[in-house]
Amino acid sequence: MYGLDRPVFVQYGRWMGNLFRGDLGLSFSSNQPVVNLIRRPIQNSMVLTITALVLLWLMAIPLGVYSAVRPYSLGDQAVAGMTSTGHENLGCVDQLLDIAPHHPARVRRGDGRHRRVHPRAARPDARAPR
C-alpha cells in the first residue's frame, strides 16, 4: 500500500509525482486526505502572509525612497538604525519563540496542550523537590 518495499528514490519519485498532482496522501491518524486537513490552516497562513507583505511594502518603499533622496541625513541614519535593530531584535524573539515549546518544564498532555511542571518532575526517574 505505501510502497515501503521499494527503494527510497522510487518512493520519493512517486511522492513528488503525487505532490505535483495535488495528492498529498491520507493522514495516518484520521484516515482522511491530507489536503482536506491542511486547507483551512493554509488559508489562514496565506492571509497572514499577504497582509504582512503588503504592510511591509507600505513601510519599506517610502522609507527607501526617503533614504535614497536624502543620503547621510539624520533621517537616513535613523531608518538604517531602525532596520538593523529591528532585524536583530526580531531574530532574537523568533529564536526564543522556537525554544519555548521545547523547554523541559513543559509536558505535553494528551489533548495537545502543555502544562507546566517542575523540571525534575518532567523526568520519570526523578522526584520533585519537597
Q: What is the CA radius of gyration of the chain?
A: 24
pLDDT band at 62 (very low <50, low <70, confident <90, very high): very high
pLDDT of res. 124: 54
pLDDT band at 43 (very low <50, low <70, confident <90, very high): very high
* Domain annotation covers residue 68: no
Whole-prediction pTM value?
0.54
* Domain annotation covers residue 62: no
* Domain annotation covers residue 105: yes
Find residue 114's DSSP bridge partners.
108
The packing angle between helices 34-69 and 74-99, to 10°, is 160
pLDDT of res. 27: 85
Express each pLDDT in 101-113 by its tens digit.
Answer: 666 555 555 555 5
Q: Which residue has the cell 535614497?
A: 68
Which residue range(s) make up the domain with 122?
A: 80-130
pLDDT of res. 101: 64
Backbone angles phi, psi at 100, to 5 degrees: -55, -45
Express each pLDDT in 27-37 by its tens digit.
Answer: 888 889 999 99
**Grid coordinates given for 27:** 493522514
Backbone angles phi, psi at 114, to 5 degrees: -115, 155
Domain total for the chain? 1
* Domain annotation covers residue 27: no
